[in-house]
């Protein structure tokens, strides 16, 4: 899989500024890691230093680019970052492991609905009775799909993922390794000195174009559904409790926990290690900074920080004042001392 | 699997207030999700609004209930929540996947002790030499049970769980998918510029009626045992360090970490994202609010908050004062200004 | 596998102070858990109380030891802790599960490079095309090694680990159960109302003598490599973002998150539940206390605390002042009241 400089210019609708149109390249990388046989891009002024030291064979640049190393071929394009995506697609397409096939060491119940000519089921995968696997979906080794669960079209289910029974996953979803979908919600009733398990009879329903990070867990509802809306992207090691409802196109970063029955609107951003207590509502386009702790409903469209959460400007002000506490204590001490002084 | 209204009344020892005794229902749900063919319950006054809009075919209500939708059958019982558990059991029992069997794609060492007529071992499960699996236990696909580990009776070990060697799990335990039991404790000795691994030779011992959430990790002891007491329930993505001892009937919520050798009494509650440093003791019935950080021993029977933890009332008072810092700074500024004013 | 008291003295180059040289012991444990047939050690004065109550059959002690139970055999050595390591090795060596073998239920692509006489591949393991497995490496049940990944010599890959394609792992590494290596980095470009996935084309490269805790996740780089240096030890449930570079001999404790492209020097310690934002640099030998939140570059050689991080002494001082806020508020109130008092 190679691309000549001329092909690169054609692919990106760019102009060769420097270099041999016949020189060929076999891959892509960032400016700092690229080798002589690889293509890179200069997408941002802050990478000029890396550009001057790059060993890349060819670099996509914009109109106002610096010269860079003399032996590096240059192709000028309007937006190097966007154009580079086309180059990525070119090389990436050749790397896909999807080959329609069902590995003989996988176990697929006879009642499972799938088209063997249109799915790729790797070794050791187990799919139980009544499940449905959509066309174009690839399931990596040792993943598990429970009874009656439905996986949409063109999904990628990575190794050692567990999707428990009755859950629904839309089209074009990606589940990174170790993801757990449909674990029991955490619900107990305290009775006669013991925590008695409350059956968790609902499911998890995930929309289209959702990605879920490695070892993230999404609990099934007590009744009804835990919902993840279309286009939402969840990072690694996130905990989503039972009956949570997350809207469309949300961003939830690593090590965040969302407790049972809370509802997030659309386009909500939750940064890393945040926590949202149960039964709360977060409005559309709210942004929670890292480590924010939410204990009451939050209006949309506002950026929050702190524990408990408040608008970020107020929290930053309080933090600034906290750092000035030593001076404040000194000032108050001085005032008291001045008062104690016998008046002359 | 259906239940007529008359059967429902018999099952719950209730009285039909409205509806055709012969009408039949095929499932259960909450008021907001229930369909015409499903049974629900009104367990709490705050759900009156949902009750008025429910599409459930039948609802369990208490004596002082409102009327609800005219076409919804009603059965009056003393305690709708408790009675509904019987209905759940009725439908849930039919959903169990337990069928005594050993799947041909599982691998079970010949020295493993189990009664093939009384366990359910799914596809891809691996059980190594010397392990013991109790009667009535179900092990889901691709789970792993290490050498000489013992799983009690009537347990459910979900998909992709790893129980390493020599560990002991009691009766009626539930391990959600991805749980890791018996990973090495985190112990190193710094010597000649390197962290040298200290062998972790102990085990994990888990009592009866314990549930452990998805992707939670419990490390094996250096020597002796990491202990989880009877009836304790642990949520998803919790980290339990080596030689930790947790008493009976504790509650440990998601993303909490408990460092090595700490001891929790009985009936301790640890809310989400809390952290407990190593070698500490937490008394019976202590409650740690979310995100509490514990760095010293805590007396039982008290609710704590903050980092480092203190009784919740004191921490809430400090937080309230923190929020009033802007005014305090202004007041002190004004005092200083008034003092600087030349006295008339 | 037994050791007589005389053998124990020989092994540890110690002197029998008490006991029958011919008495034999079959294992080891800590003072509080040891049985009559086991050997223990008194490594630290704070364990004197445990020593007086131990049931161990034999105990390694130093010169200035107390007597202990009269029926406990004693062997005096220079450093009981170090000498005990030899005893651990003696018993531990016999417990290793490594037997060169490839289990028939594993699936190994024909193009995988390994020496069947020098590796131990357990049941259900899947290794895809082009992977390389070094001599002396043991891979536990249901683990997954992706295409073209390389595992070094003498590694232990525990059950249900997922190593995705193209990743590189050095020699003598230990991956606890459920570890995920090479999951996609979390990168999206917001375009036309959607988060569009940025391909993550790089790899993860892990040095020699690295240990990674249960269910920890290390994301692959966008381009280039996410790097973990030689001798670094990572605890359970840690999140390492794409393009992170961690130096040699670092310590990263449980539930910590390190965001994309941050760089840690050598000998850095990061305690539990800490968080490091993206694109930051942490100097050699920096120490982050538990729960520290890092939002700017940190100089090496200093211990930090707080969120945002600052040198621990300053943060502890602020926390002490915060706890004195009630008195400060009272004092200011009193001053204001005294000012309002009409002067006599």
| C222 contacts A30 by C-beta, under 8 angstroms | yes
Number of Cβ atoms within 10 Å of the Cβ of B241:
27
Task: Give the number of C-alpha atoms closer than 13 A to the C-alpha of residue C266, restricted to the C-beta side.
Answer: 9
Q: What is the mean pLDDT of residues A200-210?
A: 96
Note which residues in 282-341 of chain C have CB less than 8 A from chain B. Answer: 290-291, 319, 322-323, 325-326, 328-329, 332, 335-336, 339
Q: B73 is written with which tokens?
A: 């059958």
Q: Is residue A189 over pLDDT 70?
A: yes
Pairing of the two strands A293-294 and A310-311: unpaired
Q: d(Cα A232, Cα A246) in Å, to the nearest integer?
A: 8
Strand locations in A87-146, DSSP E? 101-102, 107-108, 120-121, 126-127, 132-133, 138-139, 144-145
Pairing of the two strands C245-246 and C225-228: parallel
- Reported as a single tens digit per residue, the pLDDT across B14-70 is 999 999 999 999 999 889 889 999 999 998 877 899 999 999 999 999 998 888 899
What is the chain A residue with the closest CA to C226?
A33
Instruction: Please indicate if any CB of chain C lies within 8 Å of the CB of B188.
Output: yes
How high is the pLDDT of residue C81?
85
How high is the pLDDT of residue C190?
87
Pairing of the two strands C107-108 and C126-127: parallel
**Of B126, C165, C177, nearest in space to A140 by CA:** C165
CB A219 to CB B233 under 8 A? no
Q: What is the mean pLDDT of residues A11-19?
A: 96
Give this complex's ipTM. Answer: 0.90
CB A211 to CB C223 under 8 A? no
Question: Which of B26-35, C210-219, C294-303 is the least confident region?
Answer: B26-35
Q: What is the mean pLDDT of residues C195-209?
A: 93
**Vertex A306: Cα angle to A304 and A309 (nearest 5):** 55
User: Please, which residues bridge with residue B166 across strands?
Assistant: none
Which among A195, A197, A338 has the least Cβ separation from residue B339? A338
Q: What is the mean pLDDT of residues B295-306?
A: 98
Q: Is residue B129 over pLDDT 80?
A: yes
CB B142 to CB A160 under 8 A? yes
How high is the pLDDT of residue A344?
47
Q: What is the mean pLDDT of residues A157-166?
A: 98
Interface A-C: count of C-beta contacts within 8 A: 169
Q: What is the mean pLDDT of residues A109-116?
A: 98
Residues of C annotated catalytic, as ranges: 242
Residue C157 phi/psi, 5-degree rounding, is -110, 115
Q: d(Cα C267, Cα A340) in Å, to the nearest integer?
A: 53
DSSP string, C231-273: T-EE-TT-EE-TT-EE-TT-EE-TT-EE-TT-EE-SS-EE-TT
Higher pLDDT, B344 or B17: B17
Any idea which residue has 């700074």 for tokens?
A: B329
CB C186 to CB A233 under 8 A? yes
Q: Is residue A89 over pLDDT 90?
A: no
ω into B25 cis (within 30 of 0): no
Number of Cβ atoms within 10 Å of the Cβ of B23:
17
Q: Is residue C250 over pLDDT 90?
A: yes
Q: B191 is written with which tokens?
A: 């010597």
What is the chain B residue with the closest CA to A331?
B332
User: What are all long-range contacts of B185-191, with beta carbons under 8 Å and residues at least 24 apart?
Assistant: B185/B219, B185/B220, B185/B221, B185/B222, B185/B226, B185/B241, B185/B242, B185/B243, B185/B260, B186/B219, B186/B241, B186/B242, B186/B260, B186/C213, B186/C233, B186/C235, B186/C236, B186/C253, B186/C254, B187/B222, B187/B242, B187/B260, B188/C233, B188/C251
Q: Collect all residues of chain B within an 8 Å Cβ-Cβ radius of residue C174.
A: 184, 197
CB C201 to CB A177 under 8 A? no
How high is the pLDDT of residue B344?
47
Question: Which of B25-55 are b and which e, b meaning 16 or more Cβ less than 10 Å from the residue's Cβ?
Answer: bebbbbbbbbeebbbbbbbeeebeebbeebb
Q: d(Cα C293, Cα C308) in Å, to the nearest integer?
A: 5
Any idea which residue has 């929540």 for tokens?
A: B81
Q: What is the mean pLDDT of residues B237-246?
A: 98
Interface A-B: count of C-beta contacts within 8 A: 167
Q: What is the mean pLDDT of residues A13-33?
A: 93
The hierarchical CATH code for the domain C101-311 is 2.160.10.10
pLDDT band at residue B231 under the 50/70/90 scheme: very high
Domain boundaries, chain C: 3-93, 101-311
What is the chain C residue with the closest CA to A162?
C160
Task: Give the number of C-alpha atoms closer than 13 A to the C-alpha of residue A40, restricted to the C-beta side.
Answer: 27
Which among B28, B211, B322 has the least Cβ separation from residue A201? B28
The minimum CA-CA distance between A171 and chain C, rounded to whole Å, is 15
| B325 contacts C322 by C-beta, under 8 angstroms | no
CB A215 to CB C178 under 8 A? yes
Rg of chain C on CA atoms, in Å: 27
| A241 contacts A258 by C-beta, under 8 angstroms | yes
Instruction: Please indicate if any CB of chain B lies within 8 Å of the CB of A83.
Output: no
Q: Is residue A338 over pLDDT 60?
A: yes
Q: What is the mean pLDDT of residues C181-189?
A: 95
Q: Specify the DSSP element, H or E, that contains B336.
A: helix B325-340
Q: Collect all residues of chain C within an 8 Å Cβ-Cβ radius of residue A233.
A: 186, 188, 195, 197
| C169 contacts C212 by C-beta, under 8 angstroms | no
CB C328 to CB B328 under 8 A? yes
pLDDT band at residue B308 under the 50/70/90 scheme: very high
Q: B153 is written with which tokens?
A: 């009776």
How high is the pLDDT of residue B93?
64
Number of Cβ atoms within 10 Å of the Cβ of B296:
10
What strand order describes the sheet that includes C239-240? C107-108, C126-127, C144-145, C162-163, C180-183, C217-219, C239-240, C257-258, C275-276, C293-294
| B147 contacts B131 by C-beta, under 8 angstroms | yes
Q: A36 is written with which tokens?
A: 């002589």
| C12 contacts C59 by C-beta, under 8 angstroms | no
Share of chain C above pLDDT 90, in %: 84
pLDDT band at residue C93 under the 50/70/90 scheme: low
Neighbours of chain B (3+ CB pairs under 8 A): A, C
Question: Which of B73-111 are b and which e, b meaning 16 or more Cβ less than 10 Å from the residue's Cβ?
Answer: bbbbbeebeebbbebbebbeeeeeeeeeebbebbbbeee
CB A124 to CB C128 under 8 A? no
How high is the pLDDT of residue C344?
47
- Reported as a single tens digit per residue, the pLDDT across A53-83 is 999 999 999 998 888 899 999 999 998 988 9
Q: What is the reported pTM?
A: 0.92
Q: Is residue A165 over pLDDT 50?
A: yes
The hierarchical CATH code for the domain B3-93 is 3.40.1390.10
- Reported as a single tens digit per residue, the pLDDT across C118-151 is 999 999 999 999 999 999 999 999 999 999 999 9
The minimum CA-CA distance between C260 and chain A, rounded to whole Å, is 11
Task: List, in order, residues 6 or more apart from A210 with CB less than 8 Å away.
Answer: A169, A170, A173, A174, A228, A229, A230, A231, A232, A233, A234
How high is the pLDDT of residue C66?
83
Question: Best residue in C46, C98, C123 to probe B by mutation, most B CBs within 10 Å?
Answer: C123
Note which residues in 236-265 of chain B have CB less than 8 A from chain C. Answer: 237, 239, 241, 255, 257, 259
Q: Which of B122, B158, B242, B249 is catalytic?
A: B242
- Reported as a single tens digit per residue, the pLDDT across C12-31 is 999 999 999 999 999 998 89
Which among C32, C177, C237 has the least Cβ separation from residue B237? C237
Q: A283 is written with which tokens?
A: 């409005």
How high is the pLDDT of residue C343?
54
Q: d(Cα A230, Cα C194) in Å, to the nearest integer?
A: 10
Q: Is residue B237 over pLDDT 60?
A: yes
pLDDT band at residue A343 under the 50/70/90 scheme: low
Q: d(Cα A39, Cα A17) in Å, to the nearest integer?
A: 15
Q: Is residue C96 over pLDDT 70?
A: no
CA A30 to chain centroid, in Å, comes to: 21
| B175 contacts B212 by C-beta, under 8 angstroms | yes
Instruction: Please indicate if any CB of chain A lies within 8 Å of the CB of C199.
Output: yes
Residue B211 phi/psi, 5-degree rounding, is -120, 140
Residue C323, helix vs strand vs coil: helix
Residue B267 phi/psi, 5-degree rounding, is 55, 30
Mean pLDDT, chain C, as a whole number? 94
CA C215 to chain centroid, in Å, comes to: 12
Give, to the nearest 10 degrees, the angle between helix C312-323 and helix C325-340. Answer: 50
What is the chain C residue with the closest CA to A320?
C308
Question: Best residue in A141, A247, A274, A324 to probe C by mutation, most C CBs within 10 Å?
Answer: A141
ω into A308 cis (within 30 of 0): yes
CB A321 to CB B323 under 8 A? no
């Amino acid at each position: 899989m190679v691309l000549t400089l001329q092909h690169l210019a054609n692919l990106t609708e760019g102009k060769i500024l420097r270099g041999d149109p016949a020189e060929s390249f076999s891959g892509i990388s960032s400016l700092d890691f690229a080798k002589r046989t690889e293509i890179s891009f200069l997408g941002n002024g802050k990478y000029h230093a890396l550009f001057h030291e790059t060993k890349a064979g060819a670099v996509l640049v914009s109109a106002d680019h610096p010269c860079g190393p003399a032996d590096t071929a240059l192709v000028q394009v309007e937006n190097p970052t966007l154009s580079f995506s086309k180059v990525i697609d070119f090389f990436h397409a050749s790397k896909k492991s999807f080959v329609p096939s069902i590995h003989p060491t996988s176990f697929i119940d006879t009642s499972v609905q799938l088209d063997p000519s249109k799915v790729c089921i790797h070794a050791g995968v187990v799919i139980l009775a009544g499940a449905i696997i959509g066309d174009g979906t690839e399931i990596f080794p040792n993943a598990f799909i429970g009874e009656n669960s439905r996986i949409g079209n063109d999904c990628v289910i990575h190794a050692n993922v567990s999707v428990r029974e009755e859950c629904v996953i839309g089209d074009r979803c990606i589940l990174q390794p170790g993801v757990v979908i449909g674990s029991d919600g955490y619900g107990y009733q305290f009775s006669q000195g013991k925590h008695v398990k409350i059956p968790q009879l609902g499911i998890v329903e995930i929309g289209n174009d959702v990605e879920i990070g490695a070892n993230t867990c999404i609990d099934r509802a007590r009744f009804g559904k835990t919902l993840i809306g279309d286009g939402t992207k969840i990072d690694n090691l996130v905990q989503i409790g039972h009956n949570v409802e997350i809207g469309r196109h949300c961003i939830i970063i690593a090590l965040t926990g969302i407790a049972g029955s809370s509802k997030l609107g659309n386009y909500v951003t939750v940064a890393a290690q945040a926590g949202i207590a149960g039964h709360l509502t977060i409005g559309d386009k709210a942004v929670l900074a890292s480590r924010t702790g939410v204990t009451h409903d939050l209006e949309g469209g506002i950026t929050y920080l702190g524990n408990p959460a408040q608008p970020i400007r107020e929290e930053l002000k309080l933090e600034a004042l906290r750092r000035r506490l030593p001076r404040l204590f000194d000032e108050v001490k001085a005032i008291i001392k001045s008062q104690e002084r016998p008046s002359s």
